[in-house]
A and B are shown apart, each in its own frame.
Chain A
Amino acid sequence: MSYIELRNISYKYPLSKANVLKNISYSFEKGNLYGIIGSNNSGKTTLCNLIKGLIPEFYEGELYGEVLIEGKDVRKWDSNILATSIGYIFQNPFSQISGIKETVFEEIALGLENLGIKEDEIIDRVIDVIKLLNITDLAKKNPNELSGGQRQRVAFASIVAMNNDILVIDEPTSQLDPQGTIEIFDIINKLKQQGKTIFLVEHKIDLIAEYADEVLVIDEGELKHWGKTNEILANKDLLNRGINLPQVALLSHEMENINEPFDQFAITKAEAKKQIAKRWG
């Protein structure tokens, strides 16, 4: 039995004319990191909303097919249990901050308060997360006065504090500086090592190459390519679908073009480094 399974999923928002997702089936294993890639408007965020259970619960619309979590249809799960097992980090960090709390510390505690967790434990968990995300200097600030990148970290911290088994993360680093982006990916990697199952939407394809176990390519609502990251991200067809290849994959292709291909097609820096070292060795 798969951990999470999509069976012939098609979905239409209440007012949309055409299906936003078209006949998508896939099985997801526990503890893996799945990269979900595609051009804007391809259906990636809708797929996230579906896995999170916002569809059909919140958005309504017409849903065909089944979403099974541990073999059981999401519609049969207690929505409170689902809410505590799946965490969702929004695409737009400006919309994730509640706006009702006066300090970052309280903002991060908000979700835990709603779960009715004891105050001592809330404080411990918030302190841990603040340390993990390296935002101690923000703890006493007003969330509404933070810069875009700072808000994105706080939004991330709020979800990490919830300690969900499944995380749906929609472009977590769009507002972050490059070092901040690397830090967030280090944390995502740590969460993966803790056994969490992660769905990650991200345009920064070099990072998907580095961290994803498997990749799903969505185009116009359809699942076009799927499978092991190193196979999918070598495929030039992605360029036709508005998705860039990792810089290293482009390099590997260019080496093929001059008839000096790497012995093994590289998509990450570490892989390319080995190939180049062989020649220079």
Chain B
Amino acid sequence: MRRFGRFWWDFVVGDDWVAAAGVAAGLALTALLAAWWVLPLAVAVVLAATLVRATR
């Protein structure tokens, strides 16, 4: 069961949980503001954050 959960965690979340958490936050903020520009902005921030973490 634990291995099964681990497999799905690795499959969906991958190497960096920040990307998944950032996407969830971006979608929640988009739903809150109902504004189309929120998600592209969130993606830019999340991508930058995950790249900085990978190259530190």
Same complex for A and B? Answer: no
- Chain B interface residues toward A at CB < 8 A: none
Q: A residues within 8 Å of B by Cβ?
A: none
